Structure 1
Amino acid sequence: MERLENRHNSDTQTAIFEETSNTLSIADMLKRTLERTITSGEDMTRSLGQTARNQKLPPATLIKFLIAAEGGSLAKELHRAGIDATPAAVSQRRRQIPPAVFRKVFLDFTSSSAYGQPNRGYKGYRVLACDGTAVNMARNPNAPSFVCNNSAPKGYNQLHLSPLFDIYDRTYFDAVIQPAPHKDEPGALVEMVKRNDFNRRTIIVLDRGYESYNVMAHLMNTPNVYFVLRVKHNHSAMREIARLPMLELDCDIAFTISTTQTNEDKRNRHIYLPQPKKSKPGSTTRRARWDCPSPYTMRLRIVRFQLDNGNFETLATSLPRSFTVDDLKEIYHRRWGIETSFRDLKYSAGLVNLHSKRDDFVEQEIYAALTAFNFTSRIVQETVVQQPTDGLYAYAVNFKMAVTLCKEFLNNPNMTGKEVMQKISRHTVPIRPGRQDERNLRAKGFGWFTYRIAA
């Protein structure tokens, strides 16, 4: 199958959204938009010659089913969705739909549903965060996702999800899925940056795992894209940053990167970036990767500030001086939104409750969960929550209940958008600002099936 075109067709997606009736609620319009993008996914499946029209379980029905599915067995979920088919039939049909079709539905819905939405962001800039999270799967030693090493001699299966998350819009913008043995978060970010058109000024916020000359060069060379990157400042920091004094500062640095080590390079004190041999497995995507010309002059703004506990944090950025140190602190602080989104994606949208152990089937479910998350988030943003006049806390929508109600809305043709938004507004949780808890890091395995599945 030819590689899919990844750039968003904004004209087509805008037309899809404009065709919806202005008399409907925003939830009704979003449902229609999602159903139309699912239909376009079905058309793509048929264009690939994967399936015929006279089917009991057509592709559109199956795609919608997986987006709206919860954590029960396939038989239970099929009954809840009102689909007269067996779990075996579902597995057979899923083999006919490539994960790329689910990815297309996710991207098309995300782009088209943004039409008419306010441009949320910081000082007119859209703010995207990038990070990675693991999706645990049932053990399958024959799959590409199988990991076996000294720390896990019996092995396990895992896919790695690297998305771009819109912090202020609370939706996933794009995503790359990789087998855990070959995960490459910086490479995934570069791939997403290269395949998207950024027609709006965008800030990409990154943590230290993305500290790479290659990543920064790609971001600086992309029009309308800026970055805020937390970097190391100890002995393992970049050479020019390690030389800076350990105190609060806001300064500019410049250095030249070279992939050669000539006498002139040494005399000019270029930073030598050795290129690994192409024959070495994985060498083209790791930290030493360099895609730009050599020599290459890089200019960065470095901001260092002290935390309340006395420790320092250092940020590298390409933003202009119109963004103050306080602005950069706020932008980086907002990066935590992608971490909380992973919790909602797994435990609210149901990504911990998978319905297969095949890698391609799990990819389908990841894109389905991303679509369900964005669908719910769009509706939640338009839902009005009545605040108590004399309460101690403000209240926000309970996202877990909102996902359940939105999935019911997708399956129930008799439920209106107004009705689902009213139900969502009744399920709220208090907002307790300033709470700080120590992170409880522990390994979490796959929640094994309580029922038999088809491989």
Structure 2
Amino acid sequence: MFTQMRSDELKEKTRKSEKDFRRNRKIGFFPLVALILRMVRKSTQLELDEFREMFMLEEAAKTTYTKQSFSEARQKLLPEAFTLLNDELIRAYYEDGEFKTYLGFRLLAMDGSVMELPNTEETQVRYGYTTTYKVGFRIARALSSHLYDVENKLVLSSCLSRYDDNERSLAKRNIEHMLGLETAPVRNLILFDRGYPSAEFILYLQEKGISYLVRAQGSFYKEIVNTSLPDKVVTIEISKARAKELKKQGTPIAPGTVLHVRVVKVELSSGETEILLTYVNAEELSYEACKPLYFKRWGIEMRFDDLKHKFEIENFSGQKPQIIEQDFYATILLSNMASVMEQEAEEQMKES
């Protein structure tokens, strides 16, 4: 990843203009990226001076570097710099095949999280907003989506979008991004909460060959809800009436399309019956394994808690969308780097 960070290719892909980072300035492309990573939410003059004295000693002796010049330099850098660096980390981590699996799968979880943003007119227009009990009072918010490896504690893909965006659409973006990173076939199994299932989304997953386990709402298709057996493969046919309704919802499926879904019903300690849908057969995923497998999804909730409270992902260092997205994706990268270091430390402790 360090080599990629220095490469001209990364600079070409992530500078805002062809004119940016051409001439030698007070701070170059690589030190700027490293500085943002080091002080994602900080912009004090003390932090800037400390960084220069530690990593840019010769430049620090020749020139000054103010908060204003740092802010101006950031305007030239696209947030994609940090997603590309995260891609390199993810590729490197999985390339040797020596990563934790669960029941033979790389176990992933998909979920969204609402992000509180600096409340400006620009952020409200760009990302959307919610209203409060005070009439006309708006609070800027965004919706983030994350595809997370719950066993290896890594965010494979994430995106920051409008507050009113569709979680299934963002999930597809993350899945497509993940598939683009894979250099060798990987058996992925993705866990989804009950906000995700729809005929169109299930069809998408099955056409992509993605194994999944998703919790269904009690109001889902009657073929699923009315099954009397705890474990059964059901057939859902998209009738003309269903196709019309799906088209109205913006998720069109041709009439006559048939879906085959395995329905697993498990009883919780509360007495409630949980409905789980999957594309994995009983030989690979037994009925008994489904309940504890779905509870593995809790790992992504813990990651959200870490991002918000330990990494302070909502504590942005600026109000402009470009700065907000730099901070967001830089924090995702930092959290992944911390996970890798944590795992290496655990391995060393086991060995000793």
TM-score bracket for this pair, using the shorter chain length: 0.7 to 0.9
Alignment map for 1:259-278 (pairs within 5 Å): 260-261=240-241, 272-276=244-248
Normalised TM-score (structure 1): 0.67
Rate the CA distance shift 1:45–1:241 in 2: closer, same or farther, 3 A.
Answer: closer
Letter in 1 for 2:327: E
Letter in 2 for 1:314: I
Quote the residue 1:174 is aligned against. 157
Query: Which of 327, 331, 334 is 1:369 aligned to?
Result: 331
The CA deviation at 1:350 is: 3.0
Letter in 2 for 1:61: P
Distance in 2 (alpha carbons) for counterparts of 1:190 and 1:310: 34
Residues 37 and 108 in structure 1, CA contact (< 8 A), matched pair in contact too: no
Distance in 1 (alpha carbons) for counterparts of 2:252 and 2:45: 49
RMSD, matched Cα: 2.6
The CA deviation at 1:232 is: 1.1
Residues 243 and 255 in structure 2, CA contact (< 8 A), matched pair in contact too: no
Normalised TM-score (structure 2): 0.85
Q: Name whichever of 303-312 and 196-205 sits farther off.
A: 196-205
Could you list the per-position Cα deviations for residues 221-258 of structure 1 after superposition, in whole angstroms to 9, with x for gaps in the alignment? 113x111000112xx2222223234xx70111101124
Distance in 2 (alpha carbons) for counterparts of 1:46 and 1:140: 25
Query: Which of 210, 230, 238 is 1:257 aligned to?
Result: 238
Distance in 1 (alpha carbons) for counterparts of 2:306 and 2:104: 27
Matched, 1:231 2:193: no
Distance in 2 (alpha carbons) for counterparts of 1:98 and 1:386: 37
**How many pairs were matched up?**
331
Q: Name whichever of 39-48 and 291-300 sits farther off.
A: 39-48
Distance in 2 (alpha carbons) for counterparts of 1:383 and 1:350: 23
Residues 15 and 76 in structure 2, CA contact (< 8 A), matched pair in contact too: no
The CA deviation at 1:207 is: 0.1
Matched, 1:304 2:265: yes
Quote the residue 1:332 is aligned against. 294
Query: Which of 261, 267, 276 is 1:315 aligned to?
Result: 276
Residues 215 and 277 in structure 2, CA contact (< 8 A), matched pair in contact too: yes
Distance in 2 (alpha carbons) for counterparts of 1:271 and 1:328: 31
Matched, 1:120 2:92: no
Rate the CA distance shift 1:165–1:291 in 2: closer, same or farther, 3 A.
Answer: farther
The CA deviation at 1:36 is: 2.7
Rate the CA distance shift 1:62–1:127 in 2: closer, same or farther, 3 A.
Answer: same
Matched, 1:206 2:192: yes
Distance in 1 (alpha carbons) for counterparts of 2:142 and 2:16: 28
Distance in 2 (alpha carbons) for counterparts of 1:130 and 1:202: 12
The CA deviation at 1:133 is: 1.0
Distance in 2 (alpha carbons) for counterparts of 1:161 and 1:179: 8
Distance in 1 (alpha carbons) for counterparts of 2:38 and 2:316: 13
Alignment map for 1:28-47 (pairs within 5 Å): 33-34=1-2, 36-37=4-5, 39=7, 40-45=9-14
Distance in 2 (alpha carbons) for counterparts of 1:101 and 1:350: 20
Could you list the per-position Cα deviations for residues 333-382 of structure 1 after superposition, in whole angstroms to 9, with x for gaps in the alignment? 11000010111122222313210111221111111001101111111111
Rate the CA distance shift 1:146–1:300 in 2: closer, same or farther, 3 A.
Answer: closer
Alignment map for 1:26-425 (pairs within 5 Å): 33-34=1-2, 36-37=4-5, 39=7, 40-45=9-14, 48-51=17-20, 52-69=22-39, 71-82=41-52, 85-116=65-96, 118-143=98-123, 144-149=126-131, 151=133, 153-180=136-163, 182-197=164-179, 199-223=185-209, 225-233=210-218, 236-245=219-228, 249-258=230-239, 260-261=240-241, 272-276=244-248, 288-290=249-251, 292-322=253-283, 323-384=285-346
Residues 139 and 157 in structure 1, CA contact (< 8 A), matched pair in contact too: yes
